[in-house]
């Protein structure tokens, strides 16, 4: 490797950036990875609390690019089902799939990020600079300006190419936007009227989980939803998705007594598990939930946007990170196909990937309504039971959720198109009949194959 060669500059050492940098370095490229924050391996997660994510097969396949998939699984808790909690305290176990081997994994965001930083640093041709936020990118000159937070000095870094993996608030994307209108950069940002806040269920004194461990707990209440994912230390990270405005919205729940009675009334079993509710609720920030779409991700072949910087989505399919990891896999396949001709690779990558990131963005919005309202709806429950029966009986039947989550051989776009068509077909049947036991499953599966998959 030419020591004087300009490095590939990757901006943002989060989940996508650290995987991408590790992979490019493993391929022999000289990589400089910049990160705004302090090294998470030294500081731990913000506030000392675990924040977790659902990792599934698309993400795992991509982690395999740097040999991190099995190590990630060792840090994760398998979740086979949603456990739905009703207002009267009763619960319903709702498996993600009729196949036993299909499950998702709850994993610590910080732990996974640390693992990928370790993988990246194993390469001598890669250097990570923490505490160094990118301020802007000069796309024409192919340089990026950074501030070294340790001494406050700004400096300009030259690059062979620049890849922005700096998340939903991307500084690299801002530089795309700041260019003249002749660059034809399209950008849209759509916020939900709901925000989110993280709470915590702490472990029992012996370190065990207070509620069932191997599932994603969900308290769907129409306009309000609470979920909880297990952590290895026996705790759960709880996330409330509430509207900002209106009765019991984030902006209205200003009085602890009001918060108390709202939780006691709507989420009685969760309320009992969170003696720390008030401090968590009032100390933790409220995050916004939005979809960001933009295009093109490369403008002149010098730079590229990837991960949330290119396509931030709402978290309701548990696919944002998986999709960002899969970006790296698809990008890597483009390098296999086109070599190191970056302009060609960038352009082929965005042509291939855009429809899929749009698809998962739209599916994630659909799932917001499904999780919030439908999981407790009679027709939906019947449809879900029918899908389970089909999945148990036929190797070739996959529900929409399974197509998206457990079939990495299908693109998100294909999973969306086929999955939506199947949903529509089954919903029609479930609205017409209550007796799903009497349905001829062989005939139904054959019809679905002929009408939707032919």
Ligand X SMILES: Cc1cc2nc3c(=O)[nH]c(=O)nc-3n(C[C@H](O)[C@H](O)[C@H](O)COP(=O)(O)OP(=O)(O)OC[C@H]3O[C@@H](n4cnc5c(N)ncnc54)[C@H](O)[C@@H]3O)c2cc1C
Q: Given candidates 10, 11, 79, 371, which one binds ligand X under the rule CB under 6 A?
A: 11
Q: Among the candidate windows 7-15, 65-73, 86-94, 261-269, which touches ligand X by CB under 6 A?
A: 7-15
Tell me how far apart the alpha carbons of residues 445 and 441 are, in angstroms, rounded to a whole number.
6
CB 105 within 8 A of CB 73: yes
**Residue 164 binds to ligand X (criterion: CB under 6 A):** no
Task: Give the interface size with ligand X as a residue count (CB under 6 A).
Answer: 32
Taking the C-alpha atoms of residue 276 and residue 235, their distance in angstroms, rounded to an integer, is 13
Longest pairwise C-alpha distance within the chain: 73
Residue 233 pairs in a beta bridge with: none
Tokens of 235: 């705790």
- Residue 139 has φ and ψ, to the nearest 5°, of -70, -35
Residue 360 binds ligand X, judged by CB under 6 A: no
- Shortest gap between Cβ of 20 and ligand X (angstroms)? 9
Pick from 7, 14, 98, 220: which binds ligand X (CB under 6 A)? Answer: 14
Footprint (CB under 6 A) of ligand X, residues 211-250 = 239
Provide DSSP, 355-413. Answer: HHHHHHHHHHHHHHHHHHTGGG-HHHHHHHHHHHHHHHH-TT---HHHHHHH-TTS-HH
Q: Given candidates 23, 110, 161, 166, which one binds ligand X under the rule CB under 6 A?
A: 166
Question: Residue 15 interacts with ligand X (CB under 6 A)?
Answer: yes
CB of 144 to ligand X, least distance (A): 9
Q: Cα(416)–Cα(136) distance, rounded to whole angstroms?
A: 36
Q: Which residues pair with 287 in a beta bridge?
A: 196
Q: How far apart are CA 216 and CA 128, in angstroms?
A: 35
The reply to whether 345 sits near ligand X by the rule CB under 6 A is: no
Q: For ligand X, give the closer residue by CB, 63 or 386.
A: 63
Contact flag: residue 324 with ligand X (CB under 6 A): yes
* CB closer to ligand X, 134 vs 444: 134
Question: Applying CB under 6 A, which of residues 6, 27, 37, 87 lies at the interface with ligand X?
Answer: 37
- 293 is an interface residue for ligand X by CB under 6 A: no
Select the span of 11-19, 293-301, 346-354, 435-443 touching ligand X (CB under 6 A): 11-19
Q: Tell me the three state secondary structure of residue 129.
A: strand
Residues near ligand X (CB under 6 A) are 11-17, 34-37, 53-54, 133-134, 165-167, 171, 196, 239, 287, 307-309, 315, 318-322, 324
């Amino acid at each position: 490797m030419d020591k004087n060669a300009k490095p590939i500059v990757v901006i943002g050492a989060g989940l996508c950036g650290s995987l991408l940098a590790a992979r490019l370095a493993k391929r022999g490229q000289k990589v400089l990875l910049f990160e705004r924050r302090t090294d998470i391996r030294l500081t731990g997660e913000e506030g000392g609390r675990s924040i977790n994510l659902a990792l599934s097969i698309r993400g795992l396949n991509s982690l395999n690019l740097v040999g991190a998939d099995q190590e990630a699984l060792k840090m994760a808790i398998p979740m086979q089902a949603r456990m739905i909690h009703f207002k009267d305290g009763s619960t319903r176990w709702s498996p993600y799939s009729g196949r036993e081997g299909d499950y998702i994994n709850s994993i610590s965001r910080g732990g996974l990020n640390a693992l990928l930083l370790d993988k990246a640093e194993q390469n001598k041709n890669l250097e990570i600079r923490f505490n160094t936020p990118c301020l802007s990118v000069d796309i024409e000159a192919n340089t990026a300006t950074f501030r070294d937070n340790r001494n406050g000095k700004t400096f300009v870094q030259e690059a062979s190419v620049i890849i922005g993996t700096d998340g939903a608030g991307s500084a690299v994307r801002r530089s795309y936007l700041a260019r003249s209108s002749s660059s034809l950069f399209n950008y849209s940002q759509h916020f939900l009227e709901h925000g989110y806040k993280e709470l915590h269920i702490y472990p029992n004194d012996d370190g065990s989980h207070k509620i069932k461990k191997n599932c994603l707990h969900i308290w769907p209440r129409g306009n309000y939803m609470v979920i909880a994912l297990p952590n290895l230390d026996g705790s759960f990270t709880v996330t409330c998705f509430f509207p900002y405005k209106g009765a019991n919205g984030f902006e209205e729940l200003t009085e602890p007594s009001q918060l108390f009675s709202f939780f006691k009334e709507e989420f009685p079993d969760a309320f009992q598990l969170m003696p720390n509710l008030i401090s968590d609720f009032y100390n933790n920030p409220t995050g916004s939930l939005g979809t960001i779409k933009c295009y093109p991700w490369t403008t002149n072949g010098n730079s590229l946007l990837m991960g949330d910087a290119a396509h931030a989505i709402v978290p309701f399919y548990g696919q944002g990170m998986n999709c960002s990891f899969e970006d790296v896999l698809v990008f890597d396949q483009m390098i296999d196909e086109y070599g190191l001709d970056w302009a060609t690779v960038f352009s082929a990558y965005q042509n291939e990937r855009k429809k899929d990131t749009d698809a998962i963005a739209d599916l994630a919005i659909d799932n917001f309504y499904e999780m919030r309202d439908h999981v407790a709806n009679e027709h939906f429950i019947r449809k879900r039971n029918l899908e389970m029966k089909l999945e148990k009986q036929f190797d070739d039947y996959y529900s929409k959720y399974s197509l998206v989550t457990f079939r990495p051989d299908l693109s998100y776009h294909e999973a969306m198109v086929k999955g939506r068509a199947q949903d529509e077909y089954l919903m029609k049947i479930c609205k017409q009949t209550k007796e799903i036991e009497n349905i001829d499953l062989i005939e139904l599966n054959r019809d679905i194959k002929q009408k939707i998959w032919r």
